[in-house]
Amino acid sequence: MLNNIMVSKIDNNYPKISIVMPSYNQAQFIEKSILSILNQNYPNTELIIIDGGSSDGTVDVIKKYDDKITLWISEKDEGQSDALNKGFDKCTGEIYGWLNSDDIYLPNAFKHSVSILKKNDDKSIVFGDWSFINNQDKVIEQHHAFDFNLNHFKYEGFHLNAQSMFWRKDVHNHFSGFQVNLHSTMDYQMILEFGINEGEKSFIRTPKILGAFRRYEEQKTIRMTPEILEEHRMISERYKFRDKYRVIGKLKRMFYRIRRAFWYYKRGKIINLSNRLKKAYINK
C-alpha cells in the first residue's frame, strides 16, 4: 500500500536510479507520488524534488519525508522545464527517470527496468505500458506502448509515456536540455531528441505497466489548446521537420495512423482496436 513506507538500505551493487520530480502546488497528490518511489523496495534510489515555490501545503508534505529525499528546493522558477533542468543537473545516478508530482510509479518498476537494461547492454532507454488514473487513484484507462518509431513520434504522436520510462545517464548527457519556453510539451521534446540522438534501436519496450499518469479536470495538458499546438510547431521548427504541417506531413500522419491501428490490434486484439476507434470518433 502507498501509505506504508518500505525504504531499503542502500546497496551499491545496484545501479543508482535518480528520479527528478518537478512540483508546483500539488499538495493533493505529491505524497502519493513520493511514496510510489520510496515504496519501490529498490536499494539505491536518489529522489530530487524541484518545487516552484508552492503555497498550497506542498512544501509541508515534502518536509514530512525530508530524511528520505536526497535533495529538494522550493523557489520561484520559470516553469516545469526550468525545474527539470535544475533537477537533472543535480543527478548522480547511472539511470534517470522523471515523475510528475501528481503521477505514480507502479510497484517493482525500478527493479524490472534495471534488469532489462542489465540484460541489454546495447539499449539505453527502457519504456513500458502505462495507466491513466483519476484524482481518486482509480484506473480509468490502460495504454499499451508501441515499439518506438521516430517518424511516427514526429508526425502522428505519442506511443509511449515519459512517466513510464527510464534511461541511462549518457542519454541525458547527450540531451540539449528542456526548452524553458515549453510549458506543456517538454516530454515530447525530450523523447523526440532522445530518438534523434540515440536512434530507434536504443529504445526497448517491456509489456509491463511501469507508471500511472493522472488525468483530472484541472490538469494543464488534458486537452489540446492553441498554446500546446504552438509549442508543437516550435519543436518542429527547432528539430527541422517543418513538413509536418504541409501536405506531405498530413500524408505521413495518415500512414502512421494506420501503424497505430496495427499496434492497437497487436497489443490488445480487436476489442482494443474497436474501443480506440470509438473513442477517436467520439472525440472528433
What confidence tens digit (pLDDT) does each residue in 173-193 have?
999 999 999 999 999 999 999
Look at residue 221 in the predicted model and tell me its pLDDT. Answer: 60
pLDDT tens across 224-268, in order?
789 999 999 999 999 999 999 999 999 999 999 999 999 999 999
Tell me which residue of 201, 182, 203, 180 sits closest to 191, measured CA to CA.
203
Look at residue 279 in the predicted model and tell me its pLDDT. Answer: 83
Characterize the bridge pairing of strands 95-98 and 165-168. antiparallel
- Given a contact cutoff of 8 angstroms between Cβ atoms, the answer to whether 145 and 164 are in contact is yes
- Given a contact cutoff of 8 angstroms between Cβ atoms, the answer to whether 65 and 94 are in contact is no
CATH topology (fold) of 17-245: Spore Coat Polysaccharide Biosynthesis Protein SpsA; Chain A (3.90.550)
Report helix angle 186-198 to 226-238, nearest 10.
Answer: 20
Look at residue 216 in the predicted model and tell me its pLDDT. Answer: 83
Look at residue 220 in the predicted model and tell me its pLDDT. Answer: 60
Look at residue 5 in the predicted model and tell me its pLDDT. Answer: 53
Look at residue 284 in the predicted model and tell me its pLDDT. Answer: 60
Residue 184: how many CB atoms within 10 A of its CB? 19
Strands (E), 175-262: 203-214
> Which cell goes with 80?
516545469
Helix (H, G, I), strand (E, B) or coil at 192: helix
H/E element, 59: helix 58-64
C-alpha to C-alpha distance for 88 and 78, rounded to whole angstroms: 15
* pTM exceeding the 0.75 threshold for the entire prediction: yes
- Given a contact cutoff of 8 angstroms between Cβ atoms, the answer to whether 161 and 109 are in contact is no
Taking 50 as the pLDDT cut, the residues of the chain under it are 1-3
Look at residue 13 in the predicted model and tell me its pLDDT. Answer: 83
H/E element, 30: helix 30-38
**Helices and strands, counts by H and E, the chain:** 9, 9
Look at residue 201 in the predicted model and tell me its pLDDT. Answer: 98
What are the boundaries of each domain within the chain?
17-245
Q: Which amino acid is at 35?
A: L
